[in-house]
Structure 1
Amino acid sequence: MSFFKRDGARREPVRRSVEDVDLDSLLALVAESRGYTCAFARDGATVTLTGDMTLVVRLRGLRREAGRRAREDWPVLVSEHLAHAVATAGEQVDVCDLEQAGPLLRTRVEPVDELADLTRVVGRHLSADLVELLTVGSRPIRPEEAGCWPVPTAHALDLAVANVRRDERLFVEGIELSGTPVSRLTARTPSAATHLRWLGDYLQVPADGVLAVLPDPYTLLVHPVDGIGVVRAIERLRVHALCTDGLSQQVYWWHESRLTLIKADIVVQRGQTRLVVAPPPEFAQVLARLAV
């Protein structure tokens, strides 16, 4: 079959992959089950849903995400994508448009165990048990939204980090935990952990780094790793983290731009409380050197 423009010039047919055709069929099926009729753009980049409202849904990011997943995951993926598009139709910002969304991107740290599915969010590990999420407003970015952007997600995360740094400067104060001095850094937004990257702008950071706890998304507590007194500081910070029951109950080592978990347990035996520390190998070497 030949396709022609109105001026008579020949128009080449758009070649669609089997995967794109199958995804379109699934999109149409799900949309119809929700009471919408579908009209796909010729290039497959968008679909217009018409029902109780008219809504243009971008598909480029969805197609990328579908390409990374098994076909049996597609029905849930498509259903969630359309449901999310309808639910956010009233938002003034088109998150799929990086030019609009870019200035609003931020980060938020969450425990890995509290995320139902890491494949449904965009982020990177801050440590083995913490993930730094990419957000817009108060909600996490979905992979299908980030997939619409002309830049890798790592670049978008760096943009969000830069936005966090530009937003505010943390408030710093010295406090004591059962006689052990620590520094408390407080943010107005739930991105305090992101500021670890610029800790040297707030405090004198020794070559061996600092201990850190994250009692809540707005707060950091840190203690310098500059002497054998760091062992007592681990105990004090661990007890404090346990009492707050917030973002994380663990103690971490921030060193060379990396956050590493220091496994430390409070053990009660025969009425006595003691700290059992199983430090990572690199930190164990630091402790051995400080003990000399």
Structure 2
Amino acid sequence: MNLFRREPSRRPVEDVDLDSLLALVAESLGYSFEFAPDGSTVALGGPQPLVVQLKGLRREAGRRAREDWPMLVSEHLAHAVATAGDRLDVCELKQVRSLLRTRVEAVDEIPDLTRVVGRHLNADLVELLTVGSRPVRPEESGCWPVPTGQALDLAVANVRARERLRVEHIELSGTPVTRLTASSPSAATHLRWLSSYLAVPSDGALVVLPDPYTLLLHPVDGIGVVRAIERLRVHAARTDGLSSQVYWWHEGRLTLIRADIVTRDGQTRLVVAPPPDFARVLARLAV
């Protein structure tokens, strides 16, 4: 076994323990190892020598319980070995800055939210930070000289700069809606600039997200919005895509309008439970 090259007595015990795990996993993968004096990297020697960044791993380990460390270290080194031939090092922000994007996913579809980088749009949906087609791992973004929120803002700016959605006006059972379509799975990111695609009234718009590439919208501009909720909810349920629910986009927030399709005595109806703010809008529109 290689000897650590730093003075043990001057190092935090957490670093010593994490390096011990790294050493064990490296040897199990058939590699020798040598840590940089500052602990920022470990050089793996063997059939495919490589240098593995550790700064982000140490940050992530500091946020996790110790029982999670073996899994965290194993995944980190296994991923580094698997991608050793790639020219792109996600731990280097300069390399990936222009490739950062976002993708919206249903929270229930993500096995472990602690293994991805993102932020919630609401309780049901999360906006993930991606490089190419895959989510960024926390230990990768932890290497960057910017906080997670700023990295997500960089990705959002890239989405806006590199794509404009296609706008179509369609009908759902006689109810007019606007369909916005993207060529990448970042359609929901464009909600931030919705007014550049259609006239958005002061009360906002109804939104459904049948898939990561599509938005369907209806303005909240009259009592006809009640019928629109029904049409959008039924359509979203049929597509069985990103979300089957209807949302309210207003003042930069995406709020769930709970609408359940209930079948009783052979009859199907929609039971809507709007959030208080939206209920007040409906009451005003009904006058």
Which residue type is aligned with residue 187 of structure 2? A
**Alignment partner, residue 80 of structure 2:** 85
**Alignment partner, residue 33 of structure 2:** 38
Residue 141 of structure 2 is aligned to residue 146 of structure 1: yes
Residues 206 and 220 of structure 2 are in contact (CA less than 8 Å); yes or no, is this contact kept in structure 1? Answer: yes
Between the aligned partners of 1:149 and 1:95, the Cα distance in structure 2 is 9
Per the TM alignment, residue 18 of structure 1 is displaced from its structure 2 partner at its CA by: 1.1
Unpaired runs of 5+ in structure 2? 1-6
**Alignment partner, residue 251 of structure 1:** 246
Q: Map 1:70-219 to 2 at 5 A.
A: 70-219=65-214
Cα shift readout 1:95-115 (whole Å, capped 9, x = no counterpart): 111111111000000000011
Between the aligned partners of 2:221 and 2:86, the Cα distance in structure 1 is 49
Per the TM alignment, residue 134 of structure 1 is displaced from its structure 2 partner at its CA by: 0.1
Between the aligned partners of 2:257 and 2:214, the Cα distance in structure 1 is 19
Between the aligned partners of 2:252 and 2:9, the Cα distance in structure 1 is 48
Q: Map 1:208-287 to 2 at 5 A.
A: 208-287=203-282
Residues 26 and 75 of structure 1 are in contact (CA less than 8 Å); yes or no, is this contact kept in structure 2? Answer: yes
> What SS does the aligned partner of 1:183 have?
strand
Between the aligned partners of 1:69 and 1:18, the Cα distance in structure 2 is 15
Per the TM alignment, residue 288 of structure 1 is displaced from its structure 2 partner at its CA by: 0.9
Cα shift readout 1:217-242 (whole Å, capped 9, x = no counterpart): 11000000011110100000000001
Between the aligned partners of 1:24 and 1:201, the Cα distance in structure 2 is 51
Which residue type is aligned with residue 77 of structure 1? L
Per the TM alignment, residue 122 of structure 1 is displaced from its structure 2 partner at its CA by: 0.2
Per the TM alignment, residue 273 of structure 1 is displaced from its structure 2 partner at its CA by: 2.2
> What SS does the aligned partner of 1:194 have?
helix
Residues 263 and 279 of structure 1 are in contact (CA less than 8 Å); yes or no, is this contact kept in structure 2? Answer: yes
Residue 16 of structure 2 is aligned to residue 24 of structure 1: no
Aligned residues: 281
Residues 8 and 16 of structure 2 are in contact (CA less than 8 Å); yes or no, is this contact kept in structure 1? Answer: no
Percent identity over the alignment is 80
> What SS does the aligned partner of 1:166 have?
helix
Residues 14 and 43 of structure 1 are in contact (CA less than 8 Å); yes or no, is this contact kept in structure 2? Answer: no
Which residue type is aligned with residue 84 of structure 2? A
Between the aligned partners of 1:59 and 1:286, the Cα distance in structure 2 is 51
Runs of 4+ in 1 over 6 A off after TM superposition: none
Per the TM alignment, residue 92 of structure 1 is displaced from its structure 2 partner at its CA by: 1.8
Between the aligned partners of 1:260 and 1:277, the Cα distance in structure 2 is 14
Which residue type is aligned with residue 222 of structure 1? L
Cα shift readout 1:40-77 (whole Å, capped 9, x = no counterpart): 11111000111220010000000001111111111011
Per the TM alignment, residue 13 of structure 1 is displaced from its structure 2 partner at its CA by: 9.5
Unpaired runs of 5+ in structure 1? 1-11
> What SS does the aligned partner of 1:26 have?
helix
Per the TM alignment, residue 93 of structure 1 is displaced from its structure 2 partner at its CA by: 1.3
Per the TM alignment, residue 84 of structure 1 is displaced from its structure 2 partner at its CA by: 1.0
Cα shift readout 1:102-138 (whole Å, capped 9, x = no counterpart): 1100000000001111000000001110000000000
* TM-score for the superposition, normalised by structure 1: 0.94
Per the TM alignment, residue 15 of structure 1 is displaced from its structure 2 partner at its CA by: 3.0
* TM-score for the superposition, normalised by structure 2: 0.96
Between the aligned partners of 2:91 and 2:9, the Cα distance in structure 1 is 24
